[in-house]
Amino acid sequence: MVTLTFIFNHEKIEKAGYSEEELLQPVRDHARKYNISEVEHGVFAKDGEDALCTVSMAIPLYTDTFPEYDTLLNEWTLDVDGEKEDCIQETREWFANHGKQAV
């Protein structure tokens, strides 16, 4: 099972002028396209051969839509069969290693 979890900082999203529903919409659209279930509010899951690929494809989609994502989330986790990866930390490290700056 692969899950992608978004836990927002409500104070920061309100200050930025967003709603949680607005921030989740691009991922929900992606989930609908690839038969990914929102098993809990902000938790998207899929099982099967293509689960890792289709679930993780939402990560660049999300970052392109909301470049300031890392300042709006308390937690953003990709879980593959119990092995969790902190998407915020991993993305910041990727930016640092590729000469890019996170927003």
User: pLDDT tens, 37-65?
Assistant: 999 999 999 999 999 999 988 877 777 77
Name the token pair of 17.
Answer: 């002028």
Q: What is the mean pLDDT of residues 60-83?
A: 85
Confidence (pTM)? 0.86
Q: What is the DSSP letter of 22?
A: H
Residue closest to 54 by CA, chosen among 35, 28, 77, 80: 35
Give the pLDDT confidence of 12-40 residue by residue, as tens digits: 999 999 999 999 999 999 999 999 999 99
Check if the beta carbon of residue 62 is closer than 8 Å to that of residue 68.
no
> For residue 72, with 0-12 CB atoms within 10 Å meaning exposed, 13-18 middle and 19 or more buried, which class applies?
buried
CATH code of 2-97, in short, is 3.30.70
